[in-house]
A and B are shown apart, each in its own frame.
Chain A
Amino acid sequence: MSGRMRHGWQKSRRSFLRIGSAAAGAVVLARRAAIAGESSPPAESDWTRAVGPGVVDRTYGQPSKFEKDVIRRNVPWLTATSQSSVSFTPLQSLDGIITPNGLFFERYHAGRADVDPRQHRLLIHGLVERPLVLTMDDIVRFPSVSRIHFIECPANGGMEWRGAQLNSLQFTHGMLSCAEWTGVKLSTLLDEVGLKKEAKWVLVEGADAARMNRSLPIEKCLDDCLVVYGQNGEALRPEQGYPLRLLVPGWQGNVNVKWLRRIKVGDAPWFTREETSKYTELMPDGKARGFTWVNEAKSVITFPCPEKPLSAPGRYEVRGLAWSGRGKIKAVDVSFDGGVNWQSAQLQEPILSKALTRFTIPWQWGGQPALLESRVVDETGYVQPTIAQLRKVRGTNPIYHNNSIQTWQVKPDGKVFDVQLG
């Protein structure tokens, strides 16, 4: 096979020798350019002149080596250890509504558990007729569904409550990802064990070293929660709870318990550490809000952004993402003047409930300073607030649920900065 290829190449070399001297001169120039490492026409690039590696050279595909900077990143000063911490999705480098599995943001309470699926068990007990121990094989046999949903940590943007701190889309909004999830409806499993009539709340618990546990009201469990094993067509990644996690569409990331090993049905909430000491919002009057599960509608412009500035004046497509824990996106408006005037952006299909939705709007940038903002309206009619509107009600200490409008300042040189307006 390789001999025949070589023969063919020699033949084409011979035909080169027969062509006119002017053209031959151009070829020589082109070959020199190629040697100099250029690949724009008329030159030929190295990868065009040589046969590449064959199939199964990489048995599990990886991104191009030129994408090596597109990685999850952390904020080292944020947490005491990397095992109880968070990493951020590089939204500035992603296209579409689906987050690649390797770039899905991470949040651990006691590090990543590497679970053997053959040994993993899901125990369902409490106020049920038939307490069950299920293997992964058992779980996969149940009727399955696939749904596209985002997961957002409620602390996304939490470092911006007091002011603009992080000059980066990845770090202001990257505790957000979206995937197609496949699994069994939680309601199917609860039907199978049979709920007793006093059943009002459910405790979900992980198999990680934190045995992470949260309470959920039975209404949500029976509505749209899923127990999932598939993520974008393959098994969940260990970072996302392999082999089994809970998916609670639209609700704060923390309740989407990973490495799910236990579901206990009860008649009252547990008030676990993660729903009292953490994941509660302190208000200016000293009161704290708990059980604030839903992620309200939010949007952000992903281009331009601090990581992706404008190169020169001209025509651009401003791009962004919008999402709501209450349902579908109805509209996104974009302002170029800090919220004085707004224009309707184009929503991209598909527009799915509790999923990321793309929006775009064309922009002729003349090189003048600009203040870019996006504002989402969801199907309930809820309009995304400004940070000033949020602070007026909630002060600066809630940590969680900052769903405010993001302002990007574009300077005349095209650089972009995270700012807040008064």
Chain B
Amino acid sequence: MADAFLEARGISKAYEGVQALRDVSLSIGRGEIHCLVGENGSGKSTLIKIIGGVVEPDQGVVVIGGRPHSHLAAIDAIRQGIQIIYQDLSLYPNLSVAENISFNQFVERRTGFVSWKEMRAIAERGLAEIGESIDLEESVQNLSVAKRQIVAITRSLTQNARLIIMDEPTSAITREDVDHLFSVIARLKAKGISTLFISHKLNEIFEIAEVVTILRDGRKVGDFPTAELDDAKLTYLMTGQRIQYTPYKAPARTAVPLLEVRGLSRRGQFREVSFSLWPGEVLGLTGLIGSGRTELALALFGLNPPDSGQILLAGQAVRIRSPEDAGRLGIGYLPEDRLTQGLFIGQSIGDNIVVTVLKKLLGALGLLDPARRRKIEKRWLEELAIKAPSARVRAWSLSGGNQQRVVLAKWLATDPKVFILDGPTIGIDIASKQNIHEIIRALAERGIAIIIISDEIPEILHNCNRVLVMREGRLEKEIQEVSAVGETELLAVVGGRHGNGEDRS
């Protein structure tokens, strides 16, 4: 491209015998909004790091503003205007907004002294450039994720960024904030600043990106203007497969629901939520982040006791004050973040699996019986097809898909009657995703009542028989028969704007 700001030509990179990238080329024009898409393991993170000078490629060259750089160092990339905003935003929670925004500038300057006046001036200028305003003295730890993103973007701007790279920027913010972010990106474009972002949220990609580059297994599948793509085509290009789904139909309802929630409320999180759940159902719970879905799930799991309302299990009112209670009552919960909430990452797979069922392991003298333990570990390694040489392997050495299966095993071992899965396939490759969906369906067919909390409309459509949509803490809509509803309709219900009748699709 003639006016490309950045070009990556023929990039190859291998790690410890694994070919992460194979002859990948990418071109980003000035002021272009470019999206990098691919499954986990496709090489997108590696490509970003190479562009940013954090990692050196084995082959290939990065061309910035027409000048090739064969050994790009991070500090050079920054000076050339390339800024990477990682998912954790790299902010300092204990420092103020002004400090965070101007921090890197002072570090770069090496003059030794900081001027608080100048710090404020830099921050003010930066925020003004994108038309934002945040309290400069506020500690970043007190800000919402969306505001923190603005701080991170502003920081990049103050370092004369020409290309801002964002890694999954919309995964933890509400719909309104996503809109806000997109308007900021548009303003960046107007200034001639290019944006490259990694995302897996198909509907958002279509909304803001101009060009999509698809990676698969370390190779580039192609660059496509967004207008030429749709969900199905994009998924096919990303995975090389056409996924066929049969909608799920729940069995006939029993007289008494397995779980009944009446008027559950917790101030600031959710209000007057009522619904019922029957055995064998797969209930989808969706809504944007901030709608209170996870908070509601945690209330059912005992980590977030409600202020008022009732929870009934098989017709009996129960109090769930801790995950211990929940476990005893037969409720299991697969957490949103498997790395920090679901797995003891440094411990063995076996330990991770049996931690929830220690009581079952008790043998003679009330001591844990290794034979029983090995039996349980073996059973779940096999049943869930967890790929590992043995149960003694540490959890960190597994792939995302296998790790998630370990967390599943942990809760399935408790023989739950109600199983809540919060974002079960986030950050997992397509093959594992499918596999986990099959496991979920098998569980439902065995009579377990399942709630899936998910952002991904296709996942909801293909797995659930019923859907509850939450918005701003209230149960806004219930879709009784998912198989009767199409994707566009569901999208419209879920993604509707606040107070604005505009249709999103």
A and B co-occur in one complex: no
